[in-house]
Amino acid sequence: MRVVLPSVEYVVPGLRLAPRPASLEGKVVGFIDGWGRRNLDGTLGMYPLMEVFWEELRSKYNLKDYVWLKKPNISEPVPAELLEDFLARVDLVVNGEGA
């Protein structure tokens, strides 16, 4: 797996990319997951592709930790209060998955 941090500025009126950290050293990565996965014990777990992505990031960078958020409803935005709490706990966010 190759991790690429976008460095191109896309020009779309009214939209811009979120700021990129200069380094991932000591960062907490947040994952917003719409799908999740049902574990054998019935609990919800991280979508498998996100797990692989986390493991790859962790093996290459000195990350502090991760926070995983399963969206309450895949077809709706994360509720504001839930999102605020989540964002207060992370340094950067991976949103969605490329399945």
Contact indicator for 57, 29 with CB cutoff of 8 Å: yes
Q: What is the pTM of this model?
A: 0.76
β-strand partners of 32: 69, 95
Closest CA to 7 of 23, 20, 26, 24: 20
**What whole-number distance in Å separates Cα of residue 81 and Cα of residue 3?**
31
| The pLDDT value given to residue 96 | 72
| The pLDDT value given to residue 59 | 93
**What whole-number distance in Å separates Cα of residue 64 and Cα of residue 6?**
22
Per-residue pLDDT of the chain (99 residues; tens, 9 = 90+): 566 655 655 566 777 777 888 899 999 999 998 888 898 998 888 888 888 889 999 999 999 999 999 999 888 899 999 999 999 999 999 887 655
